[in-house]
Amino acid sequence: MMSIKEHPPQSEEPQTGEPIHVPVLLEITLSKLRPVEGESYLDLTAGYGGHARAFLERTDNYLDSVLVDRDENAIKTLGDLAEKGVTLIHKDFVSAAQDLVKQGRKFDVILADLGVSSPQLDRAERGFSFRFDGQLDMRMDNRTEITAADIVNSYSVDELTRLVTRYGEENLGRARRIAQAIVGARPIQGTTELADLIKQTVGRGSMKHHPATRTFQALRIEVNHELRLIEELLPLLPRLLNKGGRVGIISFHSLEDRLIKRYFSEQATAGYEAELIVREKKPVSGTEDVHNPRSRSAKFRYAVKK
């Protein structure tokens, strides 16, 4: 089932005017991962610090903790934690994890929240959302070269069809019509221009979401190599955990959760060779987050290092 992979828009900080980001499944992640005083914490997708601040309040161990994010704007908002001794890493989570493994670093608690944060979505110039008119960018890290506009204006009909089918989970017929419309309307530079084109091409029908939602998801996944990075990250996690350490991952659509579920299932059935103990076979659903109605599409899975 299709879900919008995003975090809920909130009100703004009175001093900075920045959107307040309410972390998804916060109380559930705290209760399942059980951070306690003195433990080290690794946040592989720190974002604007919603989860990190809550976990660090519990551990009160800033010197041995690391926060990672590929978004420069997010890293800039975490300066107060760096002043307390936290290490900040401005990289994608796979590159950061590889570096930490090489350094021999291990942690008691690891969290990865795979959602796109509200501050990213709410900046029109980032091009993640068609709620705001902006350039088709969608890069989580603006140091990378390929933008959504590059893909929209260079991929063939067949390539776009495969992309929207695979990563947008759109049916083949609609995906091909969207691809043909895009190629026929080039050049396309803006988010609302693309969204309107898709709506005119396939209509809304009985869909609850805007008909462009799936295509935008596909473009974002392609631009940021999201699924490939998850696949590369998962086998690194046990190497980053102390014995008895806990790792949790929050996903927002079936493509992500499928990868995580498969990896955890492999660990659960590996017998003596398993590195992780999977405490609960089924994920915790975002519907359990009564404080955050937009968490409904989230799923949380966690495991413990043997």
Residues contributing to the annotated binding site: 49-51, 69, 93, 113, 120
Which residues define the annotated binding site for S-adenosyl-L-methionine? 49-51, 69, 93, 113, 120
Which distant-in-sequence residues (6+ apart) come within 8 Å of 151 by Cβ?
160, 163, 219, 222, 223
Q: How many Cα atoms sit within 13 Å of 290 on the Cβ side?
A: 0
Which distant-in-sequence residues (6+ apart) come within 8 Å of 270 by Cβ?
none
CB 223 within 8 A of CB 167: no
The two three-digit tokens of residue 152, written as one number? 């929209």
The two three-digit tokens of residue 257, written as one number? 């959760």
The two three-digit tokens of residue 39, written as one number? 């433990």
Distance of alpha carbon 143 from alpha carbon 233, whole angstroms: 21
Rounded to the nearest 10 degrees, how much is the dihedral formed by the CA atoms of 252, 88, 70, 265? -40
Distance of alpha carbon 129 from alpha carbon 110, whole angstroms: 29
